[in-house]
Amino acid sequence: MKKYWKSLEEYNGTHFDPGEEDQSGISTFELLSSENNESKTSRRDFLKWCGFSFMSATVLASCESPIKKAIPYLNQPEDITPGMASWYASSFYDGKDFCPILVKVRDGRPIKIEGNKSVMLTHGGTTGRVQASVLSLYDTAGRYHHPFYNGEKTTWEQADRDIAGKLDSARKDIVLLTSTIISPSTQEVINRFKNRYNNFRHVVYDAISYSAIREANLLSFNRREIPFYRFDSAGLIVGFNADFLANWLLPVTYTRQYADSRALRKDKKEMSRHLQFESGMSVTGANADKRFKIKPHEELQILQGTYNILAGNGNGSEPEQAKNLAAEIRKNENKTLIVSGTNDIKVQTLVNAINYMAGSYGNTIDFTNSLNLCQGNDKDLQQLVNDMEAGKISALIVGDANPVYDYPGNGFKNALDKVDLKVSFSSVLNETSELADYILPSPHYLESWDDVAPANGFYGVAQPTIRPLFDTRQMQDSLLKWSDNDLSYKDLIKELWEKQIFTKQNKTGLFTAFWQESLQLGVFTPEIESVNVNISNEALATAGSLQKATVNEGWDLVFYESTALGDGRHANNPWLQELPDPVSKVCWDNFAAISPVDAEVLGVNNGDLIRLFEGVELPVIVQPGQKEKTVSVALGYGRQRSGKVAEGIGVNVFNFVEFKDGYKKYNVSIDQPVKTKAKTDLALTQTHHNMEGRAIVRESVLTAWQNDPASGNELHEFNEAHKATLYPEAKFEGHHWALAVDLNRCIGCSACVIACQAENNVPVIGKREVMRRRIMHWMRIDRYYTGETDNPGVVFQPLMCQHCDNAPCENVCPVAATTHSDEGINQITYNRCVGTKYCINNCPYKVRRFNWFQYSKNKAFDYNMNDDIGRMVLNPDVTVRERGVVEKCSFCVQRIQEVKLKAKLENRKVMDGEIQPACVQACPGKALVFGDLNDPDSEVSKLFKDERNYHVLEEMHLLPSVGYLTKIRNV
């Protein structure tokens, strides 16, 4: 049997887990023997305590609950039914990430974000950042509440008079600096502002730049665009430092496409093959069929060699990896997709040339629906800083961007002093706003009107779901006012849609009907003409004449985007800070990931601090799969002005990003890191539990599965044939709810974890408590390694309560707080639970959580959800648990009951797929399927009968209601 391991200590056999009974060296039977048992408690005392627990539960359960008065509306709004949710179609866009969404509103409060299933671009999927964005709405400490001038409170009227007067008198340039804008209406506002001020220019930049892709496409195809990539059409997927499943461009879309290309069924026996080249282990690399560790300079070498071979110019001296890659491409003509996340025009030009020779354009790469995301221009940004430094800028208006934090070095901050007027629009505290003359607070996107066009042929609407909580105003309304336009931004959006977008449809002749339908659906997708491209001779000549890559034999520092925090704009969101990194499983910190070989050379272990630059020290994570002599560090940490949650967490490494040939370079050469004498504790969640050699994850290879659909799952048949129990078989007359998890579709992104937290009021407990193994997440994503430490394979496995029909937790609870429902759900009655934790000890899956503290209304755990505004995010359908109570996954029973009631009122049966727990709904890869096992035609029933299906710890005959489908690799 394959060996799987969670940590290097477990791999080396040195793992010590004080939280697990048999790690002490004394067996259970020895512990109970008289020699080892020093307890003075007699059998009589033990029975007394058991009786006390039972009586306590009986008495407490019968006590009256405290009286809570419900105050009715004096004048009830027409569109609100107390106790019933309203749903609004909208769009999430934060300057980089886009997702069409539905917003759940209860009694006027947005409480949950879900994907818009009617949109084919994302199929209803989301990311953790999208799910967590609702909490940022209620961040009272991290949001600006009113306008400021020089640090003092001011009014909008006063600010408007002062700023308009200074703009009118400006003799030098007026510059608007923003991240990428994908709103047609916002662009129209900027155009009107430009018509008012002739000395105005707009500079667009991205904290994490994709500028080289656009410039390479301009050179190759005369189109400064980013094409639409179709991973579901590819037979061969090749990634170079592009984490397209977690952060790169459109990860929700790419994840669904990728999962579809990897899905296997009886009528679909083929799957895509994925090769990944990278320095540090990414989410995408962890999912690859074959992963290659490379240093940054080797990417250009491999691409040059591959291009030369395909172009017929190979001389045999190319790297072996280039020869193998060229052979793979030739076998997958017209079905190859190569992407690179490196912001280097030479690399991107080679990628374009190779894709063109492979026949990718028009098949796996499409310019018809090219993306409007990531429009930033690195050269324009550098020129702006030079102009600021030279005193050529009269006024700088920064719109929801933070260049003081994310610009390389201190160049922007120093140049800012030489600008006469500095205005910052921002919804949250940031380093740039604190240096501005005027801070003009923007509303949260859930309080705002907007529109979006993330791709050609796709239009979306964003609408407010709550009145602004603070004295805020959208940047667009301010720009309109300063350019002497009386129109509100909302009215301008409608005007533009009527003139420019309404004309693209022929369904209705009335704009009012079209506008209402667009608001209800959230999107409009007109048909557009297809675009075909031909590569320029200049691009091919450039690709063939590039100088050889400069070899760096020393150390490289590689920067990457955090799956949780992204570029740092969400750093003050505690849900994201406490979300474990999918690969390292660290939360509440960034760190320096180094290889096991380098760790031995440097003499460091996890938590040891190493010095990368003078004054810059980071804790070490020894990361299997890391390329030797490389160090990977996440961007987005080290915020100095963002709110109480993020300040002081981690180190900001944006300062060490460099410009090379006009582009931001996200890897730099460094001297060998130096071990310091200091050490810090890291919140590592992966070491909380141990699989103890059991076959918890199962996998096989494609050729073996094609010959035998049960390949890799041979134990399942044996375990099913050897069931034994003293209990009668559980029978469920009505529904029997179950969940199927396809490990081939799960990428480990953790969107489900945040969705569960938002839906079920799961508390945030902070770094110290996580280190004490008290993390409260109802579901976790376990990451398992297999193979050797230098470049192991990786399997991700979501684990939640398995809702066993023979549940070991139920028969040990002395107060019957844990019971089984007549629909197969393992449930907890909170007001009966007295906190003995026997159920936790007896659960082999370790999925139950104990409230060690009263996390709500507790200043020690004030993570944006404890004040009056913060508590508005809580779901009223789910009880907020008290101290001393056990909690766990409930299959989102409140959602089950809601759908059942709706079906009953409509006099019909519950339809298959109609009930979706939060994790199922959020999953971008459709890895989770929920349904009724008693319905033989349900999708979950069919998956449970699949030869790949198995249950975790099925040899214990617990009869879980959660099944897993083995992972299949195309190696």
pLDDT digits (tens, 9 = 90+) for 644-673: 899 889 999 999 999 999 999 999 999 999
| Average pLDDT value for residue range 229-242 | 97
Residue-level pLDDT at 11? 78
User: For every residue of 411-472, which 3-state class applies, written as one string?
Assistant: HHHHHHCCCCEEEEEECECCCCHHHCCEEEECCCHHHCCEEEEEECCEEEEECCCCCCCCCC
* 78 pLDDT higher than 90: no
| Average pLDDT value for residue range 721-737 | 83
* 140 pLDDT higher than 70: yes
| More confident: 923 or 41 | 923
Letter string b/e over residues 883-904, b meaning 16 or more CB atoms within 10 A of that residue's CB:
eebbbbbbbbbbbbeeebeeee
- Model's pTM, two decimal places? 0.92
Q: DSSP labels for 751-799? A: HHHHHHHHHTTPPP--HHHHHTT----SSEEEEEEES-SSS-EEEEEEE
Do the Cβ atoms of 430 and 106 come closer than 8 Å? no
pLDDT band, very low/low/confident/very high, at 19 (cuts 50, 70, 90):
very low
Please give the C-alpha separations between residue 898 and each of 754, 892, 895, 905, 916, in angstroms, as whole numbers.
Answer: 21, 10, 5, 11, 11
pLDDT in tens, 440-495: 999 999 999 999 999 999 999 999 999 999 999 999 999 999 999 999 999 999 99
Domain 4-23+687-969 is in which class? alpha beta
pLDDT band, very low/low/confident/very high, at 10 (cuts 50, 70, 90):
confident
pLDDT in tens, 323-366: 999 999 999 999 999 999 999 999 999 999 999 999 999 999 99
| More confident: 694 or 906 | 906
pLDDT in tens, 372-405: 999 999 999 999 999 999 999 999 999 999 999 9
* 638 pLDDT higher than 60: yes
* Domain boundary assignment for the chain: 4-23+687-969, 234-371, 552-684
d(CA 899, CA 795): 34
d(CA 227, CA 221): 11
Do the Cβ atoms of 429 and 142 come closer than 8 Å? yes
85's enclosing H/E stretch is strand 85-93
Do the Cβ atoms of 910 and 932 come closer than 8 Å? yes
Residue 518 Cα to chain centre, angstroms:
27
d(CA 213, CA 216): 5
The pLDDT mean for the chain works out to 91
Q: CA neighbours within 13 Å on the CB side: how many for 501?
A: 26
DSSP H helical ranges for 603-741: 702-707, 714-721
Sign of CA dihedral 669, 670, 673, 676: negative
Q: DSSP labels for 517-536? A: HHHHHSEE------------
Do the Cβ atoms of 758 and 855 come closer than 8 Å? no
| More confident: 17 or 262 | 262
| Average pLDDT value for residue range 672-692 | 84
* 59 pLDDT higher than 60: no
* 30 pLDDT higher than 50: no
Do the Cβ atoms of 251 and 128 come closer than 8 Å? no
Do the Cβ atoms of 774 and 850 come closer than 8 Å? yes
**Which tokens in the block code for residue 835?**
């906190």
Residue-level pLDDT at 481? 96
pLDDT in tens, 760-777: 999 999 999 999 999 999
| Average pLDDT value for residue range 804-823 | 95
d(CA 218, CA 345): 10
d(CA 223, CA 215): 8
Residue-level pLDDT at 515? 95
Please give the C-alpha separations between residue 886 and each of 205, 758, 801, 834, in angstroms, as whole numbers.
Answer: 48, 18, 13, 9
Residue 400 Cα to chain centre, angstroms:
21
pLDDT band, very low/low/confident/very high, at 412 (cuts 50, 70, 90):
very high
d(CA 955, CA 695): 10
Neighbours of 69 (CB within 10 A): 4
Domain 552-684 bears CATH identifier 2.40.40.20 = yes
Domain 234-371 is in which class? alpha beta
DSSP H helical ranges for 691-750: 702-707, 714-721
> Percentage of residues in the chain with pLDDT exceeding 90?
82
Do the Cβ atoms of 924 and 252 come closer than 8 Å? yes
Burial, 882: exposed, middle or buried (Cβ in 10 Å; 0-12, 13-18, 19+)? middle
* 139 pLDDT higher than 90: yes
Do the Cβ atoms of 572 and 639 come closer than 8 Å? yes
Residue where the block lists tokens 């296997």: 264
SS3 label, residue 815: coil
780-786, strands of its sheet edge to edge? 4-5, 780-786, 793-799
Residue-level pLDDT at 549? 80
- Nearest partner of 295 among 318, 321, 317, judged by Cα: 321
200-204, strands of its sheet edge to edge? 152-153, 148-149, 438-441, 421-426, 393-399, 173-178, 200-204
Beta strand pairing status for 699-701 and 967-969? parallel
**Which tokens in the block code for residue 816?**
């019957």
* 66 pLDDT higher than 70: no
